[in-house]
A and B are shown apart, each in its own frame.
Chain A
Amino acid sequence: MRRLLPRVSFVVVVALQVYFIARGTSDPHKHFAWRPFNESDTWSADVDRITRDGRRIPIEEPWAGYVWGELVRQRGLGVPRGWRHASSGAKSTRAFLQEALDWVATHTPEDRETLYYEAQFHFTRNRRGPYTVVLRSVEREVP
């Protein structure tokens, strides 16, 4: 076993690394794929709360004791409006923004009026664009 374990570990790590490098083409975050600086993307997002009565309110306005910038502080998502460089690529930022919308929707129990969150995610890729995609959070159960 002492003889076999290092050999197996070695082969498994090599195989996994090759797999992750190949997977890097489809993974938005390019985990373990060693693909730094692969693109020059920029992004900006207009994030709104859509309330039960159909109002669309920008998240820049605090609500029910919550402040977007305090809820979401990672990867520059705390201030989504305004163009800036997407250091890990726009696909990665977009994936994190989608997760952030879902997280906020499920971690704001004091909010009794927001039905869901919606983001107009604008991005450019290697001087092309801008393109826009719409991201929407999970729908909340509002009492």
Chain B
Amino acid sequence: MTSSEVARHGLRARFDAIFDEPRSLRALGLLRIFVGPIVLLHLVPFLEEMAAGHYYADGFYSPWFAWFPEVPKNVYFALLVATIPAALLLTAGLFTRFAKAYCWGFVTWNYFLCQTHFHNNRTYLLVVLTALLLTPCGNVLSLDAWRARRRGAPLPEVAPLWAMYLLRFEALAVYLGSGGSKLFEPDWRAGIVTWDRVLRYRHLLEESIAPTWFVELLSEQSFHAAFAKVAIATEIFIALGLVFRRTRYAGAFVAFWFHVVIGVALAVQVFSYLAVAALLIWATPTVRDRTLAIDERTPEGKRLARRIRRLDWLARFSLVPGEGPPRLTEREGTEHVGGAAVARAYLRMPLLFPFVAPFALPGLRRIAIARLDRRWHS
């Protein structure tokens, strides 16, 4: 075989693996838990309309398709309200197949009832719900799984994850579509778009706790000329960073804080919550593939083991009894001891990741490991 044939064969094998190879459902199970409240939050504007006695067809509305099925107002309200328990069931993982089908069904139907319902955050919710619908995400971290274990017939915790890889592609489309379109828009690159927006809402900034110098800085066109380029580069960096394993932590870290900032600064509805939750899909879909040996006879060891058990939501670690300082054996066999083991373990905890990730940088890593090491040697 020539080298190009080998490459083609390798590519084909990787593509087939997406559809055939069973991988861990853990990340999707965790995503399912977070998506329930996000569905509820996304319903708020529709529930407010309902409380005022209105629905979309009371006045002008713009159907996507003339043939799309519609129902009378009272039935619409009943279907809307029924989404609340369905979203709660989705999070709890009880009757998950029904709950995810109902949530997907209502969110999709409601979205396509009227073109004015279109918003990017709702589109992304629809995409995420579709991925959950297409995978048995209720088999893990769910009451369904607990009930099945009690019956003595545990549910499989692995499945082919092609829908998750499709969701990864969609996530990349979000960042590349957004960053790319801004890159090719001269007004955006020049900072005019963000500058104009800040000037229009400057009165809100002046009423806020922001110091005067900060308001003045944000109102400068020259600031936006630089800021716009940073914003575009950030979105493109997130996309490229998430694609490659070596840069994935950096991509996920930047994405987290990027979404926090836009969630605070802009009216993006549920987008930030959803985008942060969806970062879970970038975790390698395997579980317990690292071993963490901890000496639980010491108070420090006991505390660390408890912390790992509570925060290892993606089940990265297999905890085993150890002696002396903690010892982490990575997937490929490399070992880390003491502070280095603890630092690497914390980096894999979804809740700690956004705060500890900078300590993975070479200079900061040395300081963090030295501090953690002192704990184990004192």
B63 CB to closest chain A CB (Å) equals: 10
B164 CB to closest chain A CB (Å) equals: 11
Taking CB atoms and an 8 Å cut-off, the chain A residues in 1-58 that contact chain B are 3, 6-7, 9-10, 13-14, 17, 21, 24, 29, 31-40, 42
Smallest Cβ-Cβ distance to B196: which chain A residue: A40
Which residues of B sit under 8 angstroms from A32, Cβ to Cβ? 123
Alpha-carbon separation in the docked complex, A99 to B114 (Å): 12
Cβ-based interface call for B181 (8 A):
yes
Which residues of B sit under 8 angstroms from A40, Cβ to Cβ? 192-194, 196-197, 200
Alpha-carbon separation in the docked complex, A60 to B213 (Å): 43
Docked-complex contact B192 and A127, CB < 8 angstroms: yes
Docked-complex contact B118 and A10, CB < 8 angstroms: no
Docked-complex contact A99 and B62, CB < 8 angstroms: yes
Docked-complex contact B266 and A13, CB < 8 angstroms: no
Docked-complex contact A34 and B59, CB < 8 angstroms: no
Interface size class of A (residues with CB under 8 A): 35 or more
Cβ-based interface call for A138 (8 A):
no
Partner of A96, one of B58, B62, B120, B267: B62
Cβ-based interface call for A135 (8 A):
no
Docked-complex contact B60 and A31, CB < 8 angstroms: no
Docked-complex contact A24 and B177, CB < 8 angstroms: yes
Docked-complex contact B120 and A36, CB < 8 angstroms: yes
Docked-complex contact B177 and A74, CB < 8 angstroms: no
Interface residues of B (CB under 8 A from A): 18-19, 54, 56, 58-62, 114-116, 118, 120, 123, 160, 162-163, 165-166, 169-170, 173-174, 176-178, 180-182, 185, 187-188, 192-194, 196-197, 200, 266-268
Interface residues of A (CB under 8 A from B): 3, 6-7, 9-10, 13-14, 17, 21, 24, 29, 31-40, 42, 70-75, 77, 85, 87, 96, 99-100, 103-104, 107, 126-127
